[in-house]
Structure 1
Amino acid sequence: MKKRKLYQENNSEVDMTPMLDIVFILLIFFIVTTSFVREQGLLVNKPQTNKSSDNTSQNITIHINENNTVFFNNKAVDVSRIPARIENFLANQVTENVVLSPHVDTNYNKVVEVLDQIKLFSDLTVSMGTYSP
């Protein structure tokens, strides 16, 4: 006697609605709990092109050599004394420009210290120059 196997066709379907609901709930949860942080950087005042520059005004020049020695108009100066030197210069001369020229081997922290001192004068524009001894 031959046995016959009866194959039944399974018409079972999986309902995807609950899984989609969970995915959307997780998506909403991650969107709500994500914190957006704005990164802060160093602001540099760029010179405006529409300003006319006087040929009679002198620039303030600050050099930093390879030994991290700071020179204000070719005279050695301590970093903490830069604001006083700038005030003295502005009392005698009219300028809006500061040229900062660090040496290639200068410590980056020293450049930032000098920029922080110059930043106390919001009306000055800082431009980076090339170091020449």
Structure 2
Amino acid sequence: MRDRIYRQPDPPQSIDLTPMLDVVFIMLIFFIVTATFIREPGIDVDRAVAVTGAGQTPAILVAVGQDDSIWIDQQKVDPGNLRLHILRLRTENPHGGLVIQADGRAAMATLSQVADAARSAGIDNVSVSTRSP
């Protein structure tokens, strides 16, 4: 007698998507973690380097550009009206301080002028923002 060999049909082939989904989720987590969510208001300045300093969330941010221009809330402010702008912002947050974000090439006289205007507006907590070395 002749033996008959019966071949069983192959099971249907499928592609396993689990490794691809693992890679996609790892990339998604990486991009979420490394994304920048909040930008600090103001103009882009090249800040001076400091060895020490702690980051704070300022109530009033005053930026001083390399050409000694003074900026508050992304608007250029005349030095003569600086005290009035600071007083207006101080009424919105009376317990807040003032942070001067100055370009490294700005004149010290302009920084002193901003600090004096803040003190004359009644703000005692005046600090200068720097970047880490």
Provide TM-score, normalisation by structure 1.
Answer: 0.49
